[in-house]
Amino acid sequence: MVFMALILRPRLVSLGVDRKVIQSIDKAVNTATGIAALITVAAGVGLLLRLRWSHFDTFFDSGWGYAILLGIIAAIGAFVLGGIEQSTSARAASMSSGPPGGDNEAVLQLLDARVVRLQRLHALVVLVAVGSMASARFV
């Protein structure tokens, strides 16, 4: 997601690549990212429950628990943002297949701008989740 939001999409837009190509790439990346996020969150919750099942009363005795909690919240937030981004991107794709027109083009530009903002926010939240979980060992 970080690669798509910060590197690939801006390059494609600056090269003047057709909107339908970008939407097609967005759809493939969003699907793959969603599946990977679901697997990652499920595995993380499973590991957390397995490692801390008998010690939930000491979960917040160290910085580890707080860092992991921040990472879990950020990961769930990233998952939700990904869903919102995917639905906005799908709405833009369905509108782009309609008849061209002034109002339609203006709405498409607004939706494209919203997708870009959502992708950047999504990438930021993913980085927070990964960073907090990775740093939990050292806190």
Average pLDDT over residues 95-102: 72
Shortest CA distance to 123 belongs to which of 43, 23, 33?
33
Q: How many domains does the chain have?
A: 1
What percent of the chain has a predicted confidence (pLDDT) above 90?
A: 19
- Residue 53 located in a structural domain: no
- Residue 12 located in a structural domain: no
- Residue 38 located in a structural domain: yes
What percent of the chain has a predicted confidence (pLDDT) above 70?
A: 95
Q: How far apart are CA 8 and CA 56, in angstroms?
A: 42
pLDDT at residue 74, as a whole number: 92
- Residue 25 located in a structural domain: yes
- Residue 11 located in a structural domain: no
What is the average pLDDT score of the chain? Answer: 85
pLDDT at residue 52, as a whole number: 62
Predicted structure pTM score:
0.80
Q: How far apart are CA 128 and CA 139, in angstroms?
A: 15
- Residue 96 located in a structural domain: yes
CA 112 to chain centre: 16
For 38-68, what is each residue's pLDDT tens digit?
888 888 777 777 776 677 777 778 888 888 8
pLDDT at residue 100, as a whole number: 67
Residue length, the chain?
139
Q: Residue 90 belongs to what domain range? A: 2-6+18-47+59-138
